[in-house]
Amino acid sequence: MESRSSDSSFFHQHNMLMEMQQSLRIALDHTQRQSNSHHQNHPESSTMGRKFFVGGNWKCNGTTEQVKKIVETLNAVEVPSSDVVEVVVSPPYVFLPLVKSLLRPDFQVAAQNCWVKNGGAFTGEVSLAKMSNSSVLGVVTIAKMSNSSVLGHSERRLLLNESNEFVGDKVAYALSKGLKVIACVGETLEQREAGSTMDVVAEQTKAIADRISDWNNVVIAYEPVWAIGTGKVATPAQAQEVHSELRKWLAAKTSNEVAETMRIIYGGSVNGANCKELAGQPDVDGFLVGGASLKPEFIDIINAATVKSA
């Protein structure tokens, strides 16, 4: 009797152990499925090694002497290594060869715009393919003078009536010529107040997505028009919200890989005082800087990359 009781107790304990193991496996499987689902629906949860990116858009500013002084300042300062932050400056066209020849090698140079064709009767435009023949710009090609190009900036969209489709054509053309592209998107104040921010940003991005399949050389700059040159700046929460939603859009319309690896940077009255808090947002991968890129505080903005690497 005692033996049978002992055997019964053993089998009872064994069965309980098996049930516990089965319950544990079910719980682990459920947790894994939830994790996978969250990863698919929220690609922003992982930075995927996105290197911080800081671009300085000098716009239509500077004389030769002023440009030389800016470059001298940039060359003299200590900033995080190129493993931590990618720095690009975008001077006016006429200064591209000068800046390229003087600027430190760990910083890159970008054009502010490019024409969408090889050349022809397009007065005032600059063709990437024909730049190598220009005595004004020297004998190097744009790909050597400039590693990348800023395209779709709100000032060109609004002042020069560049459509989403035209910007998309420019992006595709620049990529076909071997350039990297900083593609700008963003809404006006009226569009934000109407609650259509993401509709606008998605439409602008779709015009690019319709024309390219390889996103490896693209950085997207979210620049709310109402914050550019106005002194107003999107709050960190506002910037994070748009960047996160844009990343979700990329996941749905392109791929999870594109969404997770895409650097989405913020532009709009970024300065030395607000850059660190903005950089602390999980989906803010850097900045496109306007007026502050002409000032010493541009160094503070570059150094904000340490927020991500800390």
Residues labelled as active-site residues: 153, 223
Q: What are phi and psi of 61, to 5 degrees?
A: -130, 150
Q: Which residues of 70-211 form beta strands (DSSP E)?
A: 85-90, 107-111, 148-151, 180-185
Residues shown for the chain: 310
| Half-sphere exposure for 68 (CA within 13 Å, toward CB) | 3
- Phi–psi pair at 182, nearest 5 degrees: -105, 105
Segment holding 99, helix H or strand E: helix 96-102
Residue 243 CA to chain centroid, in angstroms? 9
* d(C-alpha 296, C-alpha 77), whole Å: 10
